[in-house]
């Protein structure tokens, strides 16, 4: 088993290794993954440990299980999968991705962003970055802040042009806020990549992309960040679990 992540529980290390094998295409075309018994013998792990690794992969959607037949990679295996259900989930995007700043924060007039942030001025601070999973860029994001918010992080090394880190912008920002982020209003639309977006994501201009807009507000109801992201659908899967109320 890979030595990477050996400080983590054995089942998580195994899940990461299986996830990597899936991304490499080892189990395409309906090829069955090894059984619990086979993995237990190969890696010298207990069946319970292997079972927990499979459960993690099933939960995140990387594999599915067919009784009597085995475990198989899902059709979107190899894409970056993010299941979101809370503000904390958005902040934890940093746990398995890397951010690279393309444009450090700059002061500019932006009527649309200022309006969506409900500012009494037309001036915002803007930062542009992209995010990678396993070295592959899957999203480019433009974040707009009110000036009072930008001042809290503008000198941080993580927001300098070219800087790379495992942070998210809201994760970097919130410890400096007087009031915590309480809500994220999100909209998702299908669109096409313009020239700048295509260049940054390494896709043709006009390529289909997923646009996700997120407006974050604090516990007082004041907007603190507007993030507009363009995701490559071939490298990103977005999942939300919906539950009936009262059950």
Torsion of CA 37, 41, 42, 44, to 10 degrees: 120
Report pLDDT for 136: 84
- Using a 10 angstrom Cβ sphere, with 0-12 exposed, 13-18 middle and 19 or more buried, the burial of residue 190 is exposed
Averaged over 58-75, what is the pLDDT? 80
Q: 137 with 194, same domain?
A: yes
Residue 168 pLDDT: 85
pLDDT-derived band at 233, boundaries 50, 70, 90: confident
Say what the pLDDT of residue 81 is: 45
pLDDT band at 25 (very low <50, low <70, confident <90, very high): confident
Cα 204 versus chain centre, distance: 22
Residues 122 and 169 in one domain: yes
Query: Are residue 132 and residue 232 in the same domain, yes or no?
Result: yes
Same domain, yes or no, for 85 and 41? Answer: no
Whether residue 23 is found in the same domain as residue 67: yes
In-domain check, residue 246: no
Residue 5 lies in a domain: no
Within this chain, do residues 105 and 19 fall inside the same structural domain, yes or no? no
- Give the CATH number of the domain where residue 42 resides: 1.10.10.10
CATH of residue 194's domain is 3.40.1410.10
Count of structural domains within the chain: 2
Q: Give the position of tokens 């490499």.
A: 24
Q: What is the average pLDDT value for the chain, to the nearest integer?
A: 85
pTM: 0.65
How do beta strands 136-145 and 223-231 pair?
Answer: antiparallel
CA distance 97 to 194: 24
What domain range includes position 120? 80-240
What integer pLDDT is reported at residue 92 of this predicted model?
A: 53
Domain boundary among 73, 89, 104: 73
Q: Which residue has the higher pLDDT, 150 or 89?
A: 150
- Give the model's pLDDT for residue 129: 96
């Amino acid at each position: 088993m890979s030595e990477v992540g050996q400080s983590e529980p054995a089942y998580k290390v195994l899940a990461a290794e299986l996830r990597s094998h899936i991304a490499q295409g080892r189990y395409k075309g309906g090829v069955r993954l090894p059984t619990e018994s086979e993995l237990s013998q190969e890696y010298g792990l207990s069946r319970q440990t292997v079972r927990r690794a499979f459960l993690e992969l099933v939960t995140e959607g990387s594999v599915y299980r067919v009784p009597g037949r085995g475990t198989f990679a899902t059709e979107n295996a190899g894409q970056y999968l993010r299941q979101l259900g809370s503000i904390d989930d958005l902040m934890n995007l940093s746990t398995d991705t890397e951010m690279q700043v393309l444009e450090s924060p700059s002061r500019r007039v932006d009527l649309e962003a200022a309006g969506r942030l409900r500012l009494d001025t037309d001036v915002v601070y803007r930062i542009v970055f992209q995010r990678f999973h396993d070295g592959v860029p899957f999203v480019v994001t433009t974040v707009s802040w009110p000036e009072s918010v930008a001042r809290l992080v503008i000198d941080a090394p993580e927001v300098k042009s070219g800087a790379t880190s495992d942070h998210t912008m809201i994760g970097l920002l919130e410890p400096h806020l007087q009031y915590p982020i309480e809500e994220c209003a999100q909209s998702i639309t299908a669109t096409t990549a313009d020239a700048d977006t295509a260049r940054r994501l390494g896709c043709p201009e006009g390529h289909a992309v997923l646009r996700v807009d997120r407006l974050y507000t604090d516990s007082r109801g004041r907007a603190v960040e507007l993030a507009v992201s363009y995701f490559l659908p071939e490298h990103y899967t977005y999942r939300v679990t919906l539950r009936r109320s009262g059950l």
